């Protein structure tokens, strides 16, 4: 008989009836494993524990708060200071040996700190631009420098002598007025939509 004319044969392979009784005509041989059967899924893993609240995650993900850091002992501070000073002295000795007649560098002072930040802000406001060149202004950097001096003034309030307090006040006044002058000039230039001309500052991001 041709293949296409063979009748379909339906074989009931169930071993039990609907009542749960063994079927008398069931094949007693064990059923062969089907290779095309769908794979058995592995038992689901236990669900992970819920994430901690936001306040707990912030503590674990970020660095430990400053109050949780172990305090330094006086011995540790003294050792670090002595090691730093010894290294700095060796550096000074090597520099003077390579440059005969060079004076010992001046000790760091409060006035030098104020002067250093002040000059940095002046440069960021374009004050150190060579003559004939267009000033380059870093407004965000200048703002940070001015704010740095502001923090210094706030934290040292009541601990400065009259000369130190006057120096810091004058530096802050000059920088704040210079910052206002530059920002107002830039705002007027932008409002007028005038093309950039030599001598006018430009913003550096």
pLDDT score, position 133: 84
Listed residue (141, 113, 155) closest to 203, CA to CA = 141
pLDDT score, position 143: 96
Handedness of CA 131, 120, 154, 112 (dihedral sign): negative
Query: What's the pTM?
Result: 0.56
Which residues are CB-neighbours of 59 under 8 A, at least 6 positions away?
A: 65
H helices present in the chain, as ranges: 54-61, 74-98, 110-124, 139-155, 162-192
Mean pLDDT of all residues in 160-169: 96
pLDDT score, position 158: 94
**pLDDT over threshold 60, residue 138:** yes
**pLDDT over threshold 70, residue 22:** no
Structure tokens at 161: 């002598």
**pLDDT over threshold 50, residue 56:** no
């Amino acid at each position: 008989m041709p293949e296409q004319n063979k009748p379909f044969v339906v074989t009931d392979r169930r071993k039990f009836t609907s009542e749960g009784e063994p079927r008398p005509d069931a094949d007693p041989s064990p059923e062969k494993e089907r290779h095309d059967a769908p794979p058995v899924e592995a038992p689901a893993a236990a669900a992970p524990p819920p994430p901690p609240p936001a306040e707990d995650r912030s503590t674990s993900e970020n660095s430990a708060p400053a109050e949780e850091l172990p305090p330094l002992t006086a011995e540790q501070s003294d050792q670090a200071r002595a090691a730093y000073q010894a290294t700095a002295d060796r550096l000074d000795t090597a520099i003077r040996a390579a440059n005969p007649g060079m004076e010992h560098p001046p000790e760091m002072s409060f006035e030098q700190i104020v002067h250093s930040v002040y000059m940095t802000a002046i440069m960021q406001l374009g004050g150190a631009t060579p003559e004939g060149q267009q000033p380059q202004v870093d407004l965000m950097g200048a703002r940070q420098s001015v704010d740095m001096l502001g923090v210094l003034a706030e934290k040292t309030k009541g601990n400065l002598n009259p000369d130190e307090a006057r120096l810091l006040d004058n530096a802050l006044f000059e920088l704040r007025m210079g910052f206002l002058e530059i920002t107002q000039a830039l705002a007027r230039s932008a409002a007028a939509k005038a093309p950039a001309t030599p001598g006018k500052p430009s913003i550096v991001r």
